[in-house]
Structure 1
């Protein structure tokens, strides 16, 4: 009856490490045979069970073994099951490498996300393959101290003297359990209380028991529309925070439903000083919005520079003592370059009247001493010649008497300029 409730081990497959695979499979088979009480069965039944559990690969290998040697008078016949197991041992364990096993043991370290009990179990299994003898417990303890991932615990063990293997294991277990408890206490407890809303009548089907059980789960998994995280009621990190887009309170800029207004750097941040995590989240959202705003500004500036530079041209540099035209009070006067300033296109010029002015290159034009302003060619100026100023004419206004409208309001008629009127008549 016991055999009907026990699952036999999987079929034997050598894999990349046949020796380890055979040792594990043989151990599992011995446990299964004794648990199902097959050890007391007849020899043919035990042999058939062994070949069945071995699988296709094991049966093909067993067919290549020589038959058991014949027995002489007075000797016990060879057990077929024992003979097959010995042949597999000789095939997959040809020799015992006393150098490779200790080398693997000395390089073992605790893996990431591996518990301390699992690490000690792996060390004990590997130590069984080594001929450590009476030094096995001491070497396992040394390997534990060197191979654990907790550096603070390792330093604590180094300060102790005459530690036994039991003391090392007890100390490491206590440190692992206490560290786990502290981590659980630091994690927030996400207990959400369901909020009841006023019942609304609709034309939908009545809620079943399954739907009622699913609704609280949906409420727990739903993210807040103001901060983008899941939190308990009235504990929103965005409470009291100023949005960098619209300037309103109560939500982050990444979840703002309005467009951005103005620069994000001109607004101040208002938050609760009680929650430092809230400030980190708000700063993260601020950096994201600021980066996006800078990218948009840079692209707009590049387009403006590209559009403005397409119609520009380089102006020739001026040298000291070079005669130039100076633009002064919307007029062009003769001047001479005195000195070139430290800044680009910054020149000190002196007029014929003795005045000294500092002007950029765009306000200066090279002139030919043999021509006047009207006779100078455009090649001498680098740009088009300015138009001459229009002389202003004094026009006398003819005074006219006030007039009375139909409503009785007295108004002053507009001025009449006879000189201009005569030009159009």
Structure 2
């Protein structure tokens, strides 16, 4: 036991010196017992005390008032003097402020956050309210918004139940990530195998397809063109803008002007100006895991009329100001959209800011130009008395935020009428 390490020097510059002193004193008493020094003379124990407490403690000891030299080396008297020195330096108001403003850090685990809160609560002298106040701050401070909403709905919730719910939610989230990672690894391996196979047969398939289509156009054959299946990672089949199959990002209609709507990016035969208003489509290739959302502006007038509440803008674009969490964001109502897009410049200003997560979703403009996707997040969107928790795709774009059709309908922003 003689080689047992002694307590570290006491740091007298800590914010809560009283708590630090109390902890150090307990460690020193355990050290005396463990080394069988608790029965030794006071002069020996006091010398051990002054050795362990550090140079700053020894300096303080030399300034304390003692009635006699014997009292100066009496351990009980020395400890009482240090009690008097450390206790007045405890600032309850400041310690309570730190407790009430303690939120969960970005990468802090739930259990670590609970330990931090409990340690701060012990310093605040709350008495019988300690557990109740710890529970309240715990619910308000966690970063998981869904868990917070669920806990706020519970009528009879104590600290122990709150901790169990938080631990369960975090464990479930970690298990889900592990399952997703395993699934993605398996899908990537399968995709890699198919990709190698596609590269070998792609050239032959493309040649046969082009010959078959040429013969069909010249009337040289009554047979239907052979079904063409190009590798989804490199080719687009039945392009929505030109109608042909071609390499990705090599659409022949890219710089062409439509004869119907006079807009660039598609042929007249593929013009959809009579079908949709502000359409957002999803193009999913057969062997691709990612969703590609193509954003396009198409003006239409047909028998389907969408009634939109009165919003006035200079350029006749249907926009509305909505609340995302506690922040105002101007959205463009897109009646054909099935994803809600939030520009990064708007995401940065949202308070409280939702956590940005990875996503495989891809966005592209009507002319097949890719739009950089930064991730996805979940937040509450509100209009008047109606609110809904939805998923946003966060993108690096200078355009308006776009609200999808289903969300706009749920918030009573649009409704369909028959003419």
TM range (shorter): 0.3 to 0.5
Higher strand share: 2
Q: TM-score, normalised by structure 1?
A: 0.44
Structure number with greater Rg is: 1
Q: TM-score, normalised by structure 2?
A: 0.45
